[in-house]
Structure 1
Amino acid sequence: MSYSLQKMTEQAAREILSWIYPPPYDLYNGEVTEEALQEFAENPYYAICKEGALVGFYCTGYVAQVPIGYLFQAYPEGYLDIGLGMRPDLTGQGQGTSFLQFIMDSIETNQPLRLTVAAFNKRAIALYEKFGFCKVSSFTNANDVEFLIMIREE
């Protein structure tokens, strides 16, 4: 069965914010707070389901950016930023290609795409490169985590 896209609901947002990734991917762990729920409700977040179960999400625009990146001028105009996440128990099992392909097919834009990924996340970087994303810059946050900016010019 294939993926389906659904409007983000509070229930789905709560589930996503409760996901626990193992180290070093725990950088991506969320926390169920009113502020986090409000971010999901007020911004373009989409739930991705498979066989009726929530398996991931994606978002577009400003919310897909790492805020400290602005200090490094990491986000010039002219790109559509995308962010995504897959349920932790599904990562590392070879499902990334079909998951990202579904997201790419769902995004309707004529702008080039941009994403931000932690430099240690080699699995994601390899996947993004497979889809034509190229590293263009990087920055490091206050916790010494390096982030890569990748773009796809199509």
Structure 2
Amino acid sequence: MKLLDTEGCVTPEESRTHIRIPFELGENCERLNLRFQYAPKKLENRERAIALLKESYDLYILPEHREYAAEHTDRHLPLNNLITVSLDDARGYRGACHRHDPLQELFLSRQEASPGLMAGELTAGSWSVTLSLHCIVTEICDYRLQIWASEKEESA
């Protein structure tokens, strides 16, 4: 049963922010499935990437190391967008998948779960996914989140 199918678009100004997406899980869920994808992954514009790197050197690198960093910008290319997924149920934290993959197919059930998520009871009620926008380097980055449940067979 489909629980959620949402998409959006984020920009560099939204880097270091979070998007919380609530959904309701019904009774008799045996397995919860999530599919998250975003694109583009890489910033293809080399000149823009180098400009962003040089800006970051002023913020994050000690002054005495900035010249060396500027001479070796290729070590940090390509620049990538990074959006990660966390999951909460009505009781709290159910895990986080802080992966660099732009396509993630995740699941959890009572007995097992994708790495980063915690297996256990799939309690009916309010759940939420949090998308952490660690870094958006492209002008826009589109995402899509799909969530669906597999229900138990009804007894006759």
Classify the TM-score, shorter chain. Answer: under 0.3
- Normalised to the residue count of structure 1, the TM-score between the two structures is 0.25
More strand by share: 2
- Normalised to the residue count of structure 2, the TM-score between the two structures is 0.25
* RCO higher in structure (CA 8 A, sep ≥6): 2
